[in-house]
Structure formats: C-alpha cells, structure tokens
Structure 1
Amino acid sequence: MSENTTGLKFDDTIHCRFYSLSQSSDLEQLCESINRAILSKSQGYVWNRDEFRVNIPLHQLENNGKIPHLISVTCFGDNIEDEWFIVHLIFELTRMFSDLIVHAEDSDGSFLLIEAADYLPPWLNPDNAENRVLIYQNNIHIITPELVKLENHLEICDAVKLVSYNCEKTNACIDIQNAIKKKISGYPQKIKDNMHMAIVSLPVEIAAILKLRPSIISPIVNSYCNLDALEAKNCRNIDYTNCVLTQIQFTKYLYAMLMHSKLIQKGRYNIPETDKRAQLGFKLTCGYNVIMKQNSKDIFNTLEYKKYMSNLSKTGYFKDNIEGSKEYTKLLEKAKSFFFSTECPMNTHIINEITHLKSDKLFEEIKQSIVKCDNSKLYEDDDDWLNICPDELNNILISNYDKSTKINNKDWDSPQNISSALTDFLKKSSDFEGIERIEDVEDNNIDFDAEQFTMCLEKFLNIATSNVDIELSEDSENYEDNDEICQEIEKELSSKLCSAPSNVDDKTVLDNLVQSMKEEGLSGPSSNVLKTIGICKTDLLDSDDDE
C-alpha cells in the first residue's frame, strides 16, 4: 500500500516511514525490535480497526541513493484517538531508538501542522510542507527555507539527511513542540481511562471468544454499526439463546457507538428497551454472526489479492524473473506474507483468528468457567459519562477549539454591549477568506461620505422604479432623461435623513434582533451575524426573553 506498491488506498489512514541513520543496522532485526516495543507500549489498548505495526517494504531498491526504511500503514477509521496514540508511540520509538527518523502523514497530509497551526512560522503552509516535517529524538523537526528553498522539491531521503546533519537548526520552536506533546500526553494512564467495563448478556460461545481475545470486540461492534440492508434483514433470524451474563471490556468510543446504534426491530426476540444488557448482547451477537457468515474463501484468490499482484508486476517487483523460477517463487512468498500481514481484508483475519481460538482446548475450559461464574461478583462501570451537560460541552469546545477568552452570558444582558459589538464588527474589512482581524485600531470614527451614498442610492432607485431597461454606462441617455426625477428623489431623501433621529435606542436594536431570530427559526441572517461577533442565539433567547 505504501510507496504505491499495491495501488490500494483507504481513507482515515496514517502512513509512516521509519529511517535508520545507522549504516550497520539490520532491517529485519530493527523491524522486530520496533514491533516488540510497540506491543509493549500498547499493552491493553484496543484498536478501532488496524493494529499499529511496522513492516519491511517489498521494494528496497539498491544503489539509487535511497535510505533503507520500514513502513507502516494503519487504518484508524472514525476513532481519531488511535491516530494520536500512534503519534505517541512514534515519539516513544524515536526516544528509544536514537538513530530513528520518522515521517508521518495521514489522508489530510501533514496533520501534525494542523494541531500546531497557531504557532507555525508565516512561511509554512500545507502547500509547501511536503517532506519538511519529521520526528527525531522525541521532537518535531521542520526543514526551513534557509536549508532548502520553498520552490525546490525536497525528496524524503534528502530531508532525512538534512535533519540528521542539522538537528539543532531544524528543531521546531517550543510552542510547536508543546502543542503536539500536549495532544499525546497522558499515556499510559489514558489507555485505562478510555476503557469501559459493561455487563452483557451473550451466547456462551461469543463470551468465551471475547474472554480469550478482548480485541475482537472492535470488529464485532464495527460490523454491527455498519450493517447494510441485507445483513440487517438476516439478523432478524439469528439464534440469540443459551445466553449468560458476562463482563465485556469496551473502549468508550466503541461502547458509545454500540449504545447509540439502532436496535434491529421485527426480529424473533422482543427485547425491552429497559434491558440494556440484552440489547447490547443482541447487537454484539448480530455483529459476530455477520462476520462469521462472510465467505472465508482463499484470501489469495480474492479481488484484492489480484489487484495487489497486478500492481506489483507493473512496478517491476519480480525483476523480469520467469514465473515458477526459484527467484520468482521466493519473491512471491514474500509478497504473499506481506499481503496477509498488511493488506488482507480485516474480516478474513478475524474469521481465521476465531476459528483458531475455537480449536484451542482452552476455549472449552473458558466456556465452562463462564457458565459457572457467580453473577453477583460481576461489576460494570457507570456510563454517566455518555451524558454531557451544556456547560461541560462548552468547556470542552473552548479548551480544544477556541483560544479566545470565554464570554459569559451575562455580558450580553446589556443592549448597549450588543450594539457596540455589532458596530465593531461592521468596521472590519472582509474578503473571500472571511473577516479580517484589525489590531490596534487608533481611529474609531467611521468615514461616511453622504454625497457618495446618495448617488449610489439614486442609481439603485432609478433601476428599481424604471419600466425600461437601463444600460449602466457613462454615455447612457437614460440618465439625462431622468435628471428631474433624480433631483426630486435627492431632495426627498435629504429631508428624510435630516429629520431622522441621530441616536438609535440600543434597547430597540436588541428587541428587533430577538424578534428577527424568533421568526427565522434555527438559522438566518441575524443569528449568523451574531455568531460572527461571538454571541450564541441561545444566549439571547431563553424562557423569559419575552420580558
């Protein structure tokens, strides 16, 4: 998948390349050492989709200036926590292996820069960041224009060499380092904090499998929550009998996803809405059966494998060796091993693993122990964390996405404050990128050219009231024909402007805004303008707003 080897591509993936600066390092030994370290550091972690592992790429071209390296392509799905846990592991690996330099990006590109966006130098943006951001010795390193000009294309191998030779110059500023490290802080305790224990009513077979391999909970939950119409229909007739109460370990993400997924109706079993344990168990049973009913055909005869082999042939992997020759067979076995470990469909892996677990003698022993288990000794975690009050949500959003000072609702009680904020907003200039922030404005007066305004309004009124088409050109005869009308409109407009009150009541402004928001529903012009200046609609509309 990496290095365009297979041509297969998935969304929500993180791509990593691990370069060793040591010329004498054995790539296979390094791969084993890194995977052992990952396994140790991720003990107890339940991955949402793929497990994070490194592999030796199939293409290790010789004598072309390329630095031998390892690769990792991990699909994390919808759980963004997996991606940041991988970043945490990468930092740990570069601390443990001091000669390791890592380049990481995801489907959006250099996602590390997005997290540190508030502290990036002015010259750095997604368009020129390719191969310029690397992780080395537990720090972020950025290759500056002083080392390589922005207009010059930077190869990844050249970038690795530049960081190794100029690590002090490439070391990112402390603000960028802190922004990234804050995001990945809290481990390994965070692994436990993200887990949730629940008591579930499950068939004994599924309960025993999850006891032997707790990580299988992830594909089962994902399978149920992504049912298609045919699979959902087939689940109505599943066998949900011979159930026992058992403890199941979820991640909070998986638990929340399963809890809020719709229960399949019109089935053989009428499960009460109040029976949470049975509902969870029925959903897991459906997900398990969907996985096991999929064709467990030969993975080397699948469409994915055929596409994989086709792309290997196109990229010259077999080096013109004749099919069936000794060298060809050796390369083929290596390609099959790589496919099975990295690119084989996930459910095929799960089916093979479950089949292996059921053939183990320990499987029957676990089943017997679950049946004989004393239910009074079972415990589960409180799931009140699923319910977040508005104040907690507001705090979460502000702490993660809003760097500005929090404004209390009471600050908007005064109509004068709203009127003043709107006035400040209207002073700012804007373009296609949005409202421009103007700092240190010394002159608070608004320059208003009444004559120019009147002329513009005259032209607009001429177009709106005329029954004939008007050409907007300087030599148009229509303007001469309408001179008298324009003069009359100008006199009337001037008299109206002179008679208008000089000060508008701020209370009237507030009342008009509130009434406008009531009439426009969930969103509209008035609420959109207020959002821009930091006022939420609910801050103004409450139970006693009619007063």
Structure 2
Amino acid sequence: MAEKQNRVAEDVVEYCLFPLLSESENGSDDIKNLQQCINSFLTFLSPTLIDVIWQNEGFKLKAVEEKGSSPVHLLGETNFGENVQDEWFIVYLIFQLTKHFTGLVAKIRDSDEEFLLIEAADGLPKWLNPESAENRVYIYNGELHIIPIPQSPADVAAFPRSITSIGDAVECVRTYSEQTRASKQIQTAINNRIKNFPDLMSEHTHYAHCYIPASIAAVLDEKPQLIAPAVRAFYYRDPIDLKCCRTFQYFRPGTRVVHRTRLTRCLYAQLVHQNFQPDKRSGWVIPSTSSPKFRSHDLGMKLAHGFEIMCHKSESGGNHSNINDDQPTSGVRWQQYIQTLKDKNYFRGELEGSVLYEQLMGNARKFYKENFRHSNRGDDPGAEVLHLLKTLDVDIEGRRRAEQYLESPDDDSWMNLTPESLDEMMRERSGNYGNQEDTDNVFDLGKIADSMKAFVGNVSSADGAEFPSAGDDVEEDETQFEDSCSDSSSDMDEYGWEEDEEGKTSSSKHARIKRPPSLDKYMDIMDKELSKTDVGKSFEKQKKKTEKDTPGKVQTPDKDINEEDDDFQPVDIDLNTVKNLLESYGAQEGLAGPTSNILGSMGVTIPPNMDNIENGENTNIPSKINAEKKPMPKPRPKPAARTSTNTTQKAAPPRPPPPRAARTPRARLDSKETDV
C-alpha cells in the first residue's frame, strides 16, 4: 500500500524538495549537502523574496534526514493565513526551482491534499481520485508530473500499481519523465494560475497614509515586513490583550506623524473592515467618519494597538530572542549571493554608493542575515520591535516636515466588487471566459439544444453526471436550429430511436439498442392516460411538410404516420427544450439557478434581455436573438375588498394589478421565424 502521509494543518502549505545528491555512506554528508542546496536555492530566489510581505510566514527550508521510505530531503511549511495568494506564490517558487536546478523533484500539498489537481480538475484522467493520487503527483523540470497506473504487464516494471516508497516515486519521475508528464490541459490550468507571479505580488501591494507614532514609522522604514505581525496582533486581539492598550507604554499618540505605509491588500482590508473604538484612557482621539483625515487616523490607531499588543506579549512572555546582527557578510557564500543579485538586475543598474543602491544593498543584507543562518528558529517579532526601538534614532520633527512631500495613497476602489466584475471573475475561473464571441452579435438558440443533446449523451455514474466541455460533441457545420424545427420525423424520432430494416430500433447517435418488448405496453398505457388531459396541447409541434416544401421528392406507396392521421403533428423536442430552458432562465430574475448553472458548465452563456432592460423590466430571457414580442393579455384587476355591513366605511380601492409576466420572444433564425 502507499505510504500514508500526515495530514497538513489548515491554512498551511507543505513542500518537499528532493535534490539530486551524490551517493554517500555517511548521513552527515547528506545533511551538509542539503544545507548547501538551501543556500543555493535561497540565493537563486532572493531577488524575488527580498521585498515580499508575507501574511503569516515566509518561504523557508530545513534539512530532513532519511526516515522510513522517505529519502533525505528539504522540508518547508508556511502558514499563509487568510491570504491564499501566498500559497500560490510558493507554488510559483517551487516551479521555478525545479526548472532551474537539474534533477530537483518537488512535492507540494495543503489541507486539501493535492490542491494542484483541484485546480486542474477538468483535465484529470478518469482513474485519478484522492485515493489513487497518493504519492503520485510531483513537480519536475517546471512541469507537473503524475505517475500513471500500469495499464499492461509491460508497464508494471516502470509504474507500480501501489507506491510504497517516496524515493522510488521520485526516481520514477526522473527516469520516465516523458511518460509521467501531465497532459497539456493540466499544465495550462496550473500555468494560468501562476503565470502572473512575481509581478502579482507587486500589484497587490497597497500604500496608505497612516497617522502613527514616529517610532512605529521608523521601525517600518527599517523592516516593512513587521507590518504583518502587527496587523495580525490587532486582528486577533482579545479583551486580555487590550488591557495593555488602556495606557500605552511604548507607542503613545503624542508623537504621531503621517507615514506612507506599505501593506498587502489583504492586510489593508483586514484593518479597514475592523470596527474598533479605542479606550478613552489611551489618549487616542479619532475624527468623525466624514472627515478626510478619518482613514489615516483610524489606520494609525489600529496599527499602534497591534504594535503595543505585540511588544507587551513579548515582554511579559520573556521571549527575548537574541537578534543576530553579527552575521558575516563576507566570504564565498556572500560573494555568490551578491553576484546572483547582480545577474538578476536587482540593483537596477545603479552605481555603487548611490542612495538607491545603498537602500537596495541594505535590504539584501537584512535578507541574508535573516535567512542564511544555520539555525532554523524564527525571531519573535515583538522582541525584534523592542530591539529596533533601542537602536533606531527617531527624528520626530524631521518626519513632520517631510509629510508635505509624501506621495498620495493608493486608490482602494478595488475593495468594492461590482456585479460586472464578479461575473467577469467567475467566467475566468470557470474556464468559460472568451467563449461568447459572436461575429453577428446574435445568439444562436441551436447552441442550447446541441449542448443539451451532448449532456444527455454523456456518461453518468454513481458519482454524478459529466458535463461536456464547451464545444464538445457539438458539430459546427450542423444544420441550424431552424432546420430541426421544420424537418419532419417519425414518431420514433421523438425518443431518439430509428427503425432499421429488421424491425430493430437503434439510436441515431449511439450503437444499436434493442427495444424492450414491454416498452410498447408502457407507451400504450401512457398514451391512454395522457389522452384524457390537455398535456399534449402544451408542447410545441413540428410543422408539416407539404409537396411544395419538398420539391422533386418522389412519393412512395408506403404511408407514414403523418399520412395515416392528418391531425398528428410530432412534438418538436429541440424547440420545447429551448422554450422550457428560456422560461426557467427568465424565472431566475438574474440570480443563480439550475438553468444558468447547467448551461454555464457547458460553456453556454445566455445574454441578458436588452429590450426588457431598456423598458425597465427585470427579466433575463435573451433578446440578442432577433426577436418579436407577443402581446400579453392585460391582467384583470382583483375585485374590491368586501366591507362589513356593521360599518359605514367605503370599500377599499382595488389593488393594482400584478406586474406583467416575462414575455417570451420569437426567435428569428435566418429568413424563417419560429414561435418559442
């Protein structure tokens, strides 16, 4: 059986890296080699990671010795909290590492196990499920690899049916990379999710004006990443934490200055959407919400509370970590680190000694000191803030003079989600984005009928029905919907059957299926029951073809059912399907419903009824098809309410009539018209 792995905690992503190491008999040599790999990996990623503000934890690696069937490898765990973007940024980093370092195989998962397969669910093979995917999904050469299940005896030697060793699985990926590479559809789904990194991290950075104590401004200028633990301390505060904020010990409001603070969008939204009033004893006074200074004062007050809580916890808990500022910045490893930064144009062509060059060098030196230590401990952020308060020189008056030169804060309109932008996001995420191109700007009703035919023809099982993809099983050169409305068919065509020469029945699209003898009996009983009702009148019928409609056709002596019964008109299945779906879609009134969900899963999006929108009516029956509206009868007013004979009050006036029902358009396809 496959080796069962421990479950990953919520909001945590776990990644394992299996570098290609030379064989050694001493286990300590493997650990040393892994440590060298860590230095190489961090050096390669440092230009991308230096300025990143993580939500909770950053990218980190540690060496793990061989245990059971798992070989020596590098292990990393990152708590991404509420910001899922951090998780996908780590996926991007793993793909970049495996693409750059030869022989490196990686594996990544979270509390949902193989979340990469969830992202590419539409392209997975039938045999792949959460149980069979155990230890079969890896990243190699910048691509996703899936070890297949052997389909023949010849495949058993290469692809084991059950993977009992992670080491064997890693070697299988390296040896049979061509056979294990996932399909193009799966690769495209993953690449679409990570292709905007690392630029997306910069796009999701938000600059805001915060009215904060000058000491906090100095701390954030020295290390902007400390903004995340401060926001987290405020966001997850409790009444015990707020006791220290009654009288501030470290960050009193008397030294406040306006500071242009860098946050992520997630951190900014967490601060803005927290309703909080400070204690009156704290000395913090917030202007009214109508004041233009409210946002900067409100953000600064919340940040000050977060920093105060963070420092108080560190002091009371005795978490005085030794801040290592003596990390050597010389030697071969430092020179390799700086050379990698220069190769990746980290210094932006600045001359050594310039202001920007020194600022970038300072950030690179901080990253080197924090990430290239051999100890894998993390410093307590509160202790780090206390250490910076003792070492930094805070110029309050200088910061107040510089307020007039601050750049404007970023626009935060991205927090307001409009219905149009939400629909756009849903179309992009569902994979149906861009499938609505129509050169004539006219919606084809035939798409609905063809999609439903493809859906009915698909395979279903105990796991549910399968939706066809956009364009699957729908022929582009098929006869238009108009032709299907006008063509005559036999009574068996109504149920998808055709009769052959031997009297057997078969489906026009699938293999021949023998009609059960009992079906005729059931059909007769059903016809007798329905003959006593008006159900048959509710269906749209096909038009009869006359001799003028079929010129040149030689009449045969055999009579079909249309000639035997002049009143018989076959039911038009396509037309009824489209009509019922449109009525159901109109009843949704713009909300989610079964029709939009089913058609959306098949890549069909019904356009809104622009005619009714212009008339002020709330209906969603499509009108981008050329349509003519049928007049609807005016509703009769309800009778006036009766009054009691014991009173002299007048009868209440009649209530206004209910709104008119949604009007069903008539679809015009080419030159003919068909009532829907």
Q: Say whether the fold is shared (TM-score over 0.5).
A: yes
| 2:55 paired with 1:56 | no
Q: Does 1:341 find its partner at 2:341?
A: no
Q: Which amino acid aligns with 1:111?
A: F
Q: Which residue of 2 aligns with 1:244?
A: 257
Of 269, 284, 293 in structure 1, the residue corresponding to residue 285 of structure 2 is 269
Q: Which residue in the other structure is 1:206 paired with?
A: 216
Which residue number corresponds to residue 95 of structure 1?
A: 99
2:309 maps to amino acid: V
Aligned to 1:74: 78
Partner amino acid, structure 1, of 2:20: L
Question: Which of the numbers 278, 288, 291 marks the counterpart of 2:310?
Answer: 291
Deviating more after overlay: 388-397 vs 209-218: 388-397
Q: Secondary structure at the match of 2:402?
A: coil
- 1:336-485 alignment runs, 5 A limit: 341=376, 349-360=380-391, 363-365=392-394, 369-403=398-432, 406=435, 433-437=463-467, 440=473, 445-446=494-495, 452=522
The one-letter amino acid of 2:168's match is D
Which digits, 9 at most, give the CA deviation of each residue in 1:426-473, with x for residues without a partner? 96786664444476499973479797489799xxxxxxxxxxxxxxxx
C-alpha separation in 2, matches of 1:357 and 1:171:
50
Q: Is 1:17 the equivalent of 2:16?
A: yes
One-letter code of the match for 1:15? E
User: What residue number does 1:125 align with?
Assistant: 129
- Distance of 1:79 and 1:191 partners within structure 2: 11
The counterpart of 1:33, out of the listed 40, 56, 71, is 40
Say if 1:38 and 1:53, in contact at 8 Å, map to a contact too. Answer: no
Match of 2:113 in 1: 109
CA change 1:355–1:538 in 2 (3 A) is: farther
Query: Per the alignment, do residues 415 and 144 of structure 1 end up closer, same or farther by CA in structure 2, a change over 3 Å counting?
Result: closer
Cα 1:120–1:496 shift into 2, 3 Å: closer
Please say if residues 99 and 142 of structure 2, whose CA atoms lie closer than 8 Å, have aligned partners that are also in contact.
yes
* Aligned residues with identical type, % of pairs: 26
Secondary structure at the aligned position of 2:376 is classed as helix
1:140/1:177 contact within 8 Å kept: yes
Indicate conservation of the 8 Å contact 2:120/2:190, yes or no: yes
- Cα offset for 1:73? 1.0
- Residue 373 of structure 1 aligns to a residue whose secondary structure is helix
Between the two proteins, the alignment pairs up a number of residues equal to 461
Alignment-mate amino acid for residue 354 of structure 1:
V
Deviation at 1:55, TM superposition (A): 1.0
Moved more, 130-139 or 232-241: 232-241
Tell me how far apart the structure 2 counterparts of residues 231 and 176 of structure 1 sit (CA, whole Å).
47
> Is the alpha carbon distance of 1:398 and 1:444 closer, same or farther for their aligned partners in structure 2, counting shifts above 3 Å?
farther
Question: Offset at 1:156?
Answer: 1.0
Give distance in 1, aligned partners of 2:297 and 2:196.
Answer: 34
Structure 2: how far apart are the matches of 1:390 and 1:142?
A: 38
Alpha-carbon offset, residue 78 of structure 1: 1.7
1:478 is aligned to: none
User: 1:427–1:106: structure 2 CA closer, same or farther, 3 Å change rule?
Assistant: closer
Indicate the structure (1 or 2) with the bigger Cα radius of gyration.
2
Secondary structure at the aligned position of 2:380 is classed as helix
Name the stretch that deviates more: 263-272 or 350-359: 263-272
3-state SS, counterpart of residue 56 of structure 1: strand
Cα shift at 1:154: 3.5
1:196 paired residue number: 206
Partners in 1 of 2:143 and 2:466 — Cα distance? 34
SS of the equivalent of 2:148 reads: coil
Of 155-164 and 22-31, the range deviating more from structure 2? 22-31
Unaligned runs of 5+ in 1: 302-336, 458-489
Output the CA distance in 1 between the equivalents of 2:104 and 2:586: 62
> Secondary structure of 2:393's match?
helix
Q: Quick one: structure 1 residues 175 and 503, their matched pair in 2 at CA, closer, same or farther if it must change by over 3 Å?
A: closer
Counterpart selection for 1:164 from 160, 166, 174 = 174
SS in 1 for 2:54: coil
Contact 1:245–1:375 (Cα < 8 Å) also in 2:
no
Between stretches 194-203 and 238-247, larger displacement belongs to: 238-247
Q: Counterparts of 1:140 and 1:419 in 2: how far apart (Å)?
A: 35
Q: Which residue does 1:185 correspond to in 2?
A: 195
Q: CA deviation at 1:425?
A: 10
For the Cα contact (< 8 Å) 1:428–1:436, is it kept in 2? Answer: no
CA positional deviation for 1:148: 5.4
SS of 2:313's equivalent in the other structure is: coil
Q: 1:425 to 1:230 in 2, by over 3 A?
A: farther
Greater fraction helix: 1
Q: State the AA in 2 paired with 1:99.
A: G
Q: Which residue number in structure 2 is paired with residue 224 of structure 1?
A: 234
2:197, 2:420 → 1: CA distance?
27
Is the CA contact (8 Å cut-off) linking 1:199 and 1:378 kept in structure 2?
no
Q: Is the 8 A contact 2:211 2:256 kept in 1?
A: yes
Contact 2:233 2:310 in 1 (8 A): yes
Instruction: State how far apart, in whole Å, the 2-side matches of 1:121 and 1:8 are.
Output: 25
Mean CA deviation greater in 133-142 or 430-439: 430-439
1:495-514 alignment runs, 5 A limit: 495-497=532-534, 500-503=537-540
**Structure 1 range deviating more: 242-251 or 437-446:** 437-446
Deviation, structure 1 residue 192: 2.1
1:334 corresponds to which residue?
none
Shift, 1:251, TM fit: 1.4
Are the aligned partners of 1:104 and 1:110 in contact in 2 as well (CA < 8 Å)? yes
Counterparts of 1:468-547 in structure 2, within 5 Å, are 494-497=531-534, 500-503=537-540, 527-534=593-600, 539=608, 543-545=616-618, 546=659
Matched, 1:152 2:189: no
Question: Counterpart of 1:22 in structure 2: which amino acid?
Answer: L
Question: Which residue identity is paired with 2:17?
Answer: F
Is 1:135 equivalent to 2:132 in the alignment?
A: no
Going from structure 1 to structure 2, the CA distance change for 1:60 and 1:12 (only over 3 Å counts) comes to same
> After the TM superposition, which residues 275-314 of structure 1 pair with which residues of structure 2 at under 5 Å, given as runs?
275-294=294-313, 296=315, 297-298=317-318
CA-to-partner distance for each residue in 1:91-141, whole Å, 9 max, x for gaps?
222233213222221221122222222333333232212222222232322
Q: Is the 8 A contact 1:412 1:539 kept in 2?
A: no
Q: Deviations over 1:376-432 (max 9, x none)?
A: 3333222233334332322222112233665699x9999989996998699678666
Q: Could you give the per-residue CA deviations for residues 494-529 of structure 1, whole angstroms, max 9, x where no partner exists?
A: 4224785554998997997589657xx978xxx445
In the aligned structure 1, how far is the partner of 2:303 from the partner of 2:540? 67
Q: Mark the CA change 1:29 to 1:252 in structure 2 (over 3 Å): closer, same or farther.
A: same
> The residue matched to 1:273 in structure 2 has which SS?
coil
144-153 or 400-409, larger mean C-alpha shift:
400-409
Deviations 1:524-544 (A, max 9, x none): xxx445543349999579642
TM-score, length of structure 2 as denominator length: 0.57
Change in Cα spacing, 1:399 to 1:85, as seen in structure 2 (3 Å) is same
The equivalent of 1:474 in structure 2 is none
TM-score by length of 1: 0.69
